[in-house]
Structure 1
Amino acid sequence: MAATASSTSRPLSPMTPSDLVPVAVEGTRNVIRAAGDAGVRRVVFTSSYGAVHMDPNRSPDAVLNETCWSDYEYCKNTGNLYCCAKMMAEITATEEASKRGLELAVVVPSMTMGPMLQQSLNFSSSHVARYLTGVKPTYPNAVAAYTDVRDVARAHVLVYEHPDARGRYLCIGAVLHRAHFLQLLGDLFPQYNITAKYV
Protein backbone atom coordinates (compact mmCIF):
# COMPACT_ATOMS: atom_id res chain seq x y z
CA MET A 1 0.00 0.00 0.00
CA ALA A 2 1.41 3.38 -0.98
CA ALA A 3 1.94 6.00 1.68
CA THR A 4 -0.04 9.19 1.30
CA ALA A 5 0.41 12.57 2.90
CA SER A 6 -2.19 13.43 5.50
CA SER A 7 -3.98 16.74 5.58
CA THR A 8 -2.08 17.61 8.75
CA SER A 9 1.35 17.15 7.15
CA ARG A 10 3.67 20.12 7.21
CA PRO A 11 3.63 21.79 3.77
CA LEU A 12 6.82 21.64 1.76
CA SER A 13 8.73 24.90 1.76
CA PRO A 14 12.02 26.06 0.25
CA MET A 15 15.03 25.52 2.47
CA THR A 16 16.43 28.74 3.89
CA PRO A 17 20.15 29.34 4.47
CA SER A 18 19.65 28.92 8.24
CA ASP A 19 18.36 25.38 7.58
CA LEU A 20 21.65 24.28 5.97
CA VAL A 21 23.56 23.31 9.10
CA PRO A 22 20.85 21.31 10.93
CA VAL A 23 19.75 19.60 7.71
CA ALA A 24 23.36 18.68 6.81
CA VAL A 25 24.04 17.34 10.30
CA GLU A 26 20.84 15.33 10.64
CA GLY A 27 21.06 13.98 7.10
CA THR A 28 24.65 12.87 7.65
CA ARG A 29 23.82 11.28 10.99
CA ASN A 30 20.91 9.37 9.44
CA VAL A 31 23.03 8.04 6.57
CA ILE A 32 25.91 6.89 8.79
CA ARG A 33 23.50 5.22 11.21
CA ALA A 34 21.67 3.51 8.34
CA ALA A 35 25.00 2.30 6.94
CA GLY A 36 25.94 0.85 10.33
CA ASP A 37 22.53 -0.80 10.72
CA ALA A 38 22.90 -2.37 7.26
CA GLY A 39 26.25 -3.93 8.14
CA VAL A 40 28.38 -1.58 6.05
CA ARG A 41 32.03 -1.59 7.13
CA ARG A 42 33.52 1.32 5.15
CA VAL A 43 32.05 4.67 4.20
CA VAL A 44 33.43 7.15 1.66
CA PHE A 45 32.12 10.60 2.55
CA THR A 46 32.17 13.70 0.36
CA SER A 47 33.04 16.91 2.15
CA SER A 48 34.12 20.23 0.61
CA TYR A 49 37.10 22.53 0.43
CA GLY A 50 34.76 25.00 2.10
CA ALA A 51 35.40 23.04 5.29
CA VAL A 52 39.15 23.61 4.91
CA HIS A 53 40.23 27.00 3.59
CA MET A 54 38.05 29.72 5.20
CA ASP A 55 40.27 31.09 7.96
CA PRO A 56 41.20 34.81 7.97
CA ASN A 57 43.86 34.22 10.62
CA ARG A 58 45.83 31.78 8.48
CA SER A 59 48.81 33.20 6.61
CA PRO A 60 48.17 33.67 2.87
CA ASP A 61 51.45 31.80 2.33
CA ALA A 62 50.31 28.76 4.33
CA VAL A 63 50.14 25.49 2.43
CA LEU A 64 46.83 23.82 3.23
CA ASN A 65 46.62 20.11 3.89
CA GLU A 66 44.21 17.54 5.31
CA THR A 67 44.68 18.83 8.87
CA CYS A 68 43.31 22.29 8.05
CA TRP A 69 39.81 23.43 8.95
CA SER A 70 37.83 26.56 8.21
CA ASP A 71 37.08 28.93 11.09
CA TYR A 72 33.48 28.11 11.99
CA GLU A 73 32.75 31.40 13.77
CA TYR A 74 34.20 33.41 10.89
CA CYS A 75 32.05 31.50 8.39
CA LYS A 76 28.95 31.94 10.53
CA ASN A 77 29.56 35.65 11.13
CA THR A 78 30.12 36.33 7.43
CA GLY A 79 27.01 34.42 6.39
CA ASN A 80 28.90 31.57 4.74
CA LEU A 81 26.58 28.88 6.02
CA TYR A 82 27.53 26.48 3.23
CA CYS A 83 30.99 26.14 4.79
CA CYS A 84 29.45 25.82 8.27
CA ALA A 85 27.20 23.04 7.01
CA LYS A 86 30.05 21.19 5.32
CA MET A 87 32.23 21.41 8.42
CA MET A 88 29.52 20.17 10.75
CA ALA A 89 28.46 17.39 8.38
CA GLU A 90 32.04 16.11 8.17
CA ILE A 91 32.49 16.28 11.94
CA THR A 92 29.19 14.44 12.40
CA ALA A 93 30.22 11.75 9.91
CA THR A 94 33.50 11.24 11.77
CA GLU A 95 31.82 11.03 15.18
CA GLU A 96 29.02 8.71 14.05
CA ALA A 97 31.40 6.43 12.15
CA SER A 98 33.58 6.16 15.25
CA LYS A 99 30.58 5.28 17.43
CA ARG A 100 29.51 2.59 14.97
CA GLY A 101 32.99 1.21 14.38
CA LEU A 102 32.88 2.13 10.69
CA GLU A 103 35.97 2.88 8.64
CA LEU A 104 35.66 6.37 7.17
CA ALA A 105 37.50 8.00 4.28
CA VAL A 106 36.63 11.60 3.41
CA VAL A 107 37.14 13.12 -0.04
CA VAL A 108 37.46 16.91 0.15
CA PRO A 109 37.13 18.40 -3.35
CA SER A 110 37.79 22.03 -4.14
CA MET A 111 35.56 24.03 -6.52
CA THR A 112 34.43 21.35 -8.94
CA MET A 113 34.17 22.01 -12.69
CA GLY A 114 33.31 19.90 -15.71
CA PRO A 115 30.41 18.24 -17.47
CA MET A 116 27.13 18.50 -15.59
CA LEU A 117 24.39 15.89 -15.34
CA GLN A 118 21.68 18.43 -14.53
CA GLN A 119 20.28 21.26 -16.66
CA SER A 120 20.54 23.99 -14.02
CA LEU A 121 23.77 25.57 -12.82
CA ASN A 122 25.18 24.44 -9.50
CA PHE A 123 27.29 26.67 -7.24
CA SER A 124 30.60 25.98 -8.98
CA SER A 125 29.16 26.50 -12.45
CA SER A 126 27.41 29.69 -11.34
CA HIS A 127 30.78 30.94 -10.10
CA VAL A 128 32.13 30.62 -13.65
CA ALA A 129 28.98 32.00 -15.30
CA ARG A 130 29.06 35.19 -13.22
CA TYR A 131 32.58 35.97 -14.45
CA LEU A 132 31.95 34.72 -17.97
CA THR A 133 28.98 37.04 -18.50
CA GLY A 134 30.45 39.98 -16.60
CA VAL A 135 27.61 39.90 -14.05
CA LYS A 136 30.28 39.97 -11.34
CA PRO A 137 31.87 43.38 -12.02
CA THR A 138 35.19 42.75 -10.25
CA TYR A 139 37.36 39.84 -9.16
CA PRO A 140 39.49 39.60 -6.02
CA ASN A 141 43.27 39.64 -5.93
CA ALA A 142 43.28 36.06 -4.68
CA VAL A 143 43.74 32.45 -5.65
CA ALA A 144 41.14 29.69 -5.79
CA ALA A 145 41.41 25.90 -6.01
CA TYR A 146 39.69 23.96 -8.79
CA THR A 147 39.23 20.33 -9.72
CA ASP A 148 37.55 18.36 -12.49
CA VAL A 149 34.40 16.48 -11.58
CA ARG A 150 35.80 13.35 -13.24
CA ASP A 151 38.85 13.51 -10.96
CA VAL A 152 36.52 13.82 -7.97
CA ALA A 153 34.76 10.64 -9.09
CA ARG A 154 38.13 8.87 -9.49
CA ALA A 155 39.20 10.01 -6.01
CA HIS A 156 36.10 8.40 -4.50
CA VAL A 157 36.81 5.13 -6.30
CA LEU A 158 40.48 5.17 -5.21
CA VAL A 159 39.75 5.63 -1.51
CA TYR A 160 36.98 3.04 -1.73
CA GLU A 161 39.21 0.46 -3.40
CA HIS A 162 42.14 0.94 -0.99
CA PRO A 163 41.22 -0.66 2.36
CA ASP A 164 43.93 1.29 4.19
CA ALA A 165 42.50 4.66 3.15
CA ARG A 166 41.39 6.59 6.25
CA GLY A 167 40.83 10.20 7.18
CA ARG A 168 40.67 13.15 4.81
CA TYR A 169 41.97 13.44 1.24
CA LEU A 170 42.10 16.82 -0.48
CA CYS A 171 41.12 16.60 -4.15
CA ILE A 172 42.56 19.62 -5.96
CA GLY A 173 43.57 19.84 -9.59
CA ALA A 174 45.01 23.35 -9.74
CA VAL A 175 45.31 26.51 -7.67
CA LEU A 176 44.96 29.56 -9.90
CA HIS A 177 45.06 33.27 -9.31
CA ARG A 178 41.67 34.66 -10.27
CA ALA A 179 43.28 36.78 -13.02
CA HIS A 180 44.81 33.64 -14.58
CA PHE A 181 41.48 31.82 -14.31
CA LEU A 182 39.70 34.68 -16.10
CA GLN A 183 42.40 34.77 -18.77
CA LEU A 184 41.76 31.08 -19.42
CA LEU A 185 38.04 31.78 -19.71
CA GLY A 186 38.78 34.62 -22.14
CA ASP A 187 40.93 32.35 -24.29
CA LEU A 188 38.22 29.69 -24.37
CA PHE A 189 35.28 32.05 -24.85
CA PRO A 190 36.46 35.26 -26.59
CA GLN A 191 32.87 36.14 -27.54
CA TYR A 192 31.92 36.84 -23.90
CA ASN A 193 32.32 40.06 -21.92
CA ILE A 194 34.42 38.55 -19.15
CA THR A 195 35.03 40.42 -15.90
CA ALA A 196 38.25 42.43 -16.23
CA LYS A 197 38.54 44.60 -13.10
CA TYR A 198 39.95 43.50 -9.78
CA VAL A 199 39.57 44.85 -6.26
Structure 2
Amino acid sequence: MIFFLILLSILIALFFSNFFSKKNTIISEDLLNEQIEQKNYNSNIIKNVNYESRDVRGNEYIIDASEGQIDISNSDIIFLTNVKAIIKMNNSEDIVITSDYGKYNINNYDTIFSKNLKIYYLDNKITAEYGDFSIGRNSMIISKEVIYTNPDNILKADVVKVNIETKDTVIYMHEENKKVNIKSIE
Protein backbone atom coordinates (compact mmCIF):
# COMPACT_ATOMS: atom_id res chain seq x y z
CA MET A 1 0.00 0.00 0.00
CA ILE A 2 2.80 2.42 0.85
CA PHE A 3 4.44 1.47 -2.42
CA PHE A 4 1.30 2.49 -4.35
CA LEU A 5 1.07 5.80 -2.46
CA ILE A 6 4.72 6.59 -3.22
CA LEU A 7 4.25 5.58 -6.87
CA LEU A 8 1.07 7.67 -7.11
CA SER A 9 2.85 10.67 -5.51
CA ILE A 10 5.75 10.34 -7.97
CA LEU A 11 3.37 10.10 -10.94
CA ILE A 12 1.40 13.15 -9.77
CA ALA A 13 4.63 15.11 -9.22
CA LEU A 14 5.90 14.14 -12.68
CA PHE A 15 2.59 15.02 -14.30
CA PHE A 16 2.42 18.48 -12.71
CA SER A 17 6.09 19.26 -13.32
CA ASN A 18 5.77 18.15 -16.95
CA PHE A 19 2.52 20.13 -17.41
CA PHE A 20 3.99 23.35 -16.02
CA SER A 21 7.23 23.05 -18.01
CA LYS A 22 5.24 22.60 -21.26
CA LYS A 23 3.18 25.67 -20.42
CA ASN A 24 6.37 27.69 -19.90
CA THR A 25 7.74 26.38 -23.19
CA ILE A 26 4.56 27.44 -25.00
CA ILE A 27 4.72 30.88 -23.40
CA SER A 28 8.40 31.19 -24.34
CA GLU A 29 7.67 30.16 -27.95
CA ASP A 30 4.85 32.70 -28.19
CA LEU A 31 7.11 35.43 -26.82
CA LEU A 32 9.87 34.48 -29.25
CA ASN A 33 7.45 34.53 -32.22
CA GLU A 34 6.17 37.95 -31.13
CA GLN A 35 9.73 39.28 -30.92
CA ILE A 36 10.53 37.92 -34.39
CA GLU A 37 7.38 39.54 -35.84
CA GLN A 38 8.29 42.84 -34.17
CA LYS A 39 11.83 42.62 -35.57
CA ASN A 40 10.48 41.93 -39.09
CA TYR A 41 8.15 44.91 -38.80
CA ASN A 42 10.95 47.19 -37.64
CA SER A 43 13.24 46.03 -40.44
CA ASN A 44 11.01 47.91 -42.92
CA ILE A 45 12.28 51.24 -41.58
CA ILE A 46 14.89 53.08 -43.65
CA LYS A 47 16.82 56.08 -42.30
CA ASN A 48 17.84 59.06 -44.47
CA VAL A 49 15.75 58.23 -47.54
CA ASN A 50 16.67 59.78 -50.90
CA TYR A 51 15.04 59.20 -54.31
CA GLU A 52 15.88 60.97 -57.55
CA SER A 53 14.02 60.64 -60.84
CA ARG A 54 13.51 62.36 -64.19
CA ASP A 55 10.40 62.58 -66.30
CA VAL A 56 10.33 62.24 -70.09
CA ARG A 57 10.74 66.04 -70.46
CA GLY A 58 13.97 65.96 -68.41
CA ASN A 59 12.56 67.59 -65.28
CA GLU A 60 14.19 66.25 -62.13
CA TYR A 61 12.39 65.22 -58.96
CA ILE A 62 14.38 64.75 -55.73
CA ILE A 63 12.79 63.62 -52.48
CA ASP A 64 14.52 63.31 -49.11
CA ALA A 65 13.15 62.17 -45.76
CA SER A 66 14.62 61.50 -42.35
CA GLU A 67 12.86 58.14 -42.29
CA GLY A 68 10.87 55.86 -44.57
CA GLN A 69 8.80 52.78 -43.89
CA ILE A 70 7.94 50.34 -46.66
CA ASP A 71 4.25 49.49 -46.84
CA ILE A 72 3.96 45.80 -45.93
CA SER A 73 0.96 45.28 -48.27
CA ASN A 74 2.55 47.13 -51.25
CA SER A 75 6.35 47.35 -51.44
CA ASP A 76 6.10 50.12 -54.11
CA ILE A 77 4.82 52.51 -51.41
CA ILE A 78 7.04 54.14 -48.80
CA PHE A 79 5.66 56.19 -45.91
CA LEU A 80 8.00 59.11 -45.21
CA THR A 81 8.71 61.36 -42.22
CA ASN A 82 10.17 64.90 -42.34
CA VAL A 83 9.94 65.21 -46.11
CA LYS A 84 11.67 67.65 -48.45
CA ALA A 85 11.18 67.50 -52.21
CA ILE A 86 12.74 69.60 -54.95
CA ILE A 87 11.27 69.77 -58.45
CA LYS A 88 13.88 71.04 -60.91
CA MET A 89 12.11 72.23 -64.02
CA ASN A 90 13.96 72.66 -67.34
CA ASN A 91 12.15 75.86 -68.22
CA SER A 92 11.72 77.56 -64.82
CA GLU A 93 12.88 77.90 -61.24
CA ASP A 94 12.91 75.07 -58.72
CA ILE A 95 9.87 74.23 -56.61
CA VAL A 96 10.63 73.23 -53.01
CA ILE A 97 8.10 71.23 -50.99
CA THR A 98 8.30 70.28 -47.30
CA SER A 99 5.91 68.40 -45.03
CA ASP A 100 5.87 66.35 -41.86
CA TYR A 101 4.74 63.18 -43.67
CA GLY A 102 4.60 61.74 -47.15
CA LYS A 103 3.53 58.71 -49.12
CA TYR A 104 5.82 58.00 -52.09
CA ASN A 105 5.25 55.55 -54.95
CA ILE A 106 8.65 54.36 -56.24
CA ASN A 107 7.18 53.26 -59.62
CA ASN A 108 5.37 56.38 -60.81
CA TYR A 109 6.93 58.90 -58.35
CA ASP A 110 3.51 60.15 -57.21
CA THR A 111 3.78 61.65 -53.74
CA ILE A 112 1.19 62.63 -51.18
CA PHE A 113 2.36 65.23 -48.67
CA SER A 114 0.53 65.72 -45.39
CA LYS A 115 0.68 67.81 -42.24
CA ASN A 116 2.43 71.16 -42.25
CA LEU A 117 2.82 71.28 -46.04
CA LYS A 118 4.84 74.21 -47.40
CA ILE A 119 5.52 74.90 -51.08
CA TYR A 120 7.97 77.55 -52.28
CA TYR A 121 8.24 78.81 -55.86
CA LEU A 122 9.96 82.10 -56.69
CA ASP A 123 8.39 84.59 -54.26
CA ASN A 124 5.23 82.50 -53.78
CA LYS A 125 4.47 80.34 -50.76
CA ILE A 126 1.59 77.93 -50.24
CA THR A 127 0.83 76.35 -46.87
CA ALA A 128 -1.74 73.60 -46.37
CA GLU A 129 -2.32 70.25 -44.71
CA TYR A 130 -2.46 68.03 -47.82
CA GLY A 131 -0.82 67.90 -51.24
CA ASP A 132 -1.02 65.35 -54.03
CA PHE A 133 1.86 65.58 -56.54
CA SER A 134 1.81 63.51 -59.73
CA ILE A 135 4.38 63.52 -62.52
CA GLY A 136 2.05 61.41 -64.69
CA ARG A 137 -0.81 63.88 -64.21
CA ASN A 138 1.69 66.75 -64.37
CA SER A 139 -0.08 68.44 -61.46
CA MET A 140 -0.09 69.27 -57.80
CA ILE A 141 -3.41 69.42 -55.95
CA ILE A 142 -3.18 71.25 -52.63
CA SER A 143 -6.05 71.21 -50.12
CA LYS A 144 -7.10 71.60 -46.49
CA GLU A 145 -6.53 75.05 -45.00
CA VAL A 146 -4.75 76.44 -48.08
CA ILE A 147 -3.05 79.81 -47.72
CA TYR A 148 -1.29 81.21 -50.79
CA THR A 149 0.97 84.22 -50.28
CA ASN A 150 3.10 86.37 -52.57
CA PRO A 151 4.46 89.91 -52.14
CA ASP A 152 1.12 91.43 -53.20
CA ASN A 153 -1.62 89.13 -51.85
CA ILE A 154 -2.75 86.61 -49.26
CA LEU A 155 -5.29 84.14 -50.55
CA LYS A 156 -7.29 81.55 -48.59
CA ALA A 157 -9.09 78.71 -50.36
CA ASP A 158 -10.11 75.07 -50.05
CA VAL A 159 -8.19 73.81 -53.10
CA VAL A 160 -5.37 74.97 -55.36
CA LYS A 161 -4.58 72.93 -58.49
CA VAL A 162 -1.31 73.70 -60.28
CA ASN A 163 -0.15 72.38 -63.64
CA ILE A 164 3.54 71.75 -62.96
CA GLU A 165 4.66 72.35 -66.55
CA THR A 166 2.63 75.46 -67.48
CA LYS A 167 2.08 76.81 -63.93
CA ASP A 168 -1.61 77.31 -64.79
CA THR A 169 -3.45 77.48 -61.47
CA VAL A 170 -7.08 76.90 -60.51
CA ILE A 171 -8.20 78.07 -57.05
CA TYR A 172 -11.63 77.28 -55.61
CA MET A 173 -13.84 76.48 -52.62
CA HIS A 174 -15.69 73.20 -52.14
CA GLU A 175 -19.01 74.89 -51.39
CA GLU A 176 -20.60 77.16 -54.01
CA ASN A 177 -21.83 79.67 -51.44
CA LYS A 178 -18.30 80.27 -50.09
CA LYS A 179 -15.81 82.51 -51.83
CA VAL A 180 -12.04 82.46 -52.12
CA ASN A 181 -10.66 85.07 -49.70
CA ILE A 182 -8.11 87.45 -51.26
CA LYS A 183 -6.43 90.19 -49.27
CA SER A 184 -4.01 92.71 -50.79
CA ILE A 185 -0.81 93.44 -48.89
CA GLU A 186 0.07 97.10 -48.84
- TM (norm. structure 1) is 0.25
- TM (norm. structure 2) is 0.26
Which structure carries more strand by proportion?
A: 2
Larger radius of gyration: 2
The higher-RCO structure (CA 8 Å, 6+ apart) is: 1
Which structure carries more helix by proportion?
A: 1
